[in-house]
Structure 1
């Protein structure tokens, strides 16, 4: 199923700020909680704030950096640059609440 044929959610839990250059989201997931399936239409930065383990489950039609399930330890304060194209679900596979900030870079 293509991402155009299914309902996609937001890439985060809530938009914190938006202007003509960036859109900033927060993503908060309780242990075991999953985000909506979402598509990244813009390049972005992830800023991990808290938690212990996070995973990404890419959809079969994802064009993002992750093509297969991937889980990693959370490193609070790390900033990870990401390219657009991913269609995925974030999953808190840890025992602590997960929190990150996502900064989408709008095209000029």
Structure 2
């Protein structure tokens, strides 16, 4: 189902698992099957996304904005900390990335 899901009072984690963390970075693994959503969450730190697969997703923001993403393997995306959002995988393949938060 396209469109944002209802946001509850609690925000979810940034990713599925923390792969590494020290005093400078926190590195998450993110995996979304086709049609799966990443729970509403908020980035309090700037971050880099390194796609491990192609990505065809829609970001839904709390203020009603939507942003389509088309990520490529070998690409890198920089994002600033920001508003709560969720991510929907609108492709027919599993999407994976490594997300690096800069402390």
* More displaced stretch, 33-42 vs 77-86: 77-86
Q: Which runs of 4+ in 1 moved over 4 A?
A: none
Q: Give the equivalent residue in structure 2 for 1:86.
A: 83
- Partner residue, 1:11: 14
Moved more, 51-60 or 13-22: 51-60
Unaligned runs of 5+ in 2: 1-7
Of 70-79 and 19-28, the range deviating more from structure 2: 70-79
Offset at residue 58 of structure 1 (A) = 0.8
Give unpaired runs (5+ residues) of structure 1: 61-66
Aligned match for 1:102, one of 93, 99, 102: 99
Q: TM-score, normalised by structure 2?
A: 0.87
The 3 A distance-change label for structure 1 pair 85 and 73 is: closer
**Over residues 85-107 of structure 1, what are the superposed CA-to-partner deviations in whole Å (9 max), with x where a residue is unaligned?**
2310011010110001100000x
The CA RMSD measured in Å over matched residues stands at 1.4
1:77 maps to 2:80: no
Give the CA deviation at 1:52: 4.2
2:27 touches 2:100 (CA, 8 Å); kept in 1?
A: yes
Q: Which has the higher strand share?
A: 2
Contact 1:51 1:94 in 2 (8 A): no
- 1:55-66 equivalence runs, <5 A: 55-60=58-63
1:31 to 2:34 alignment: yes
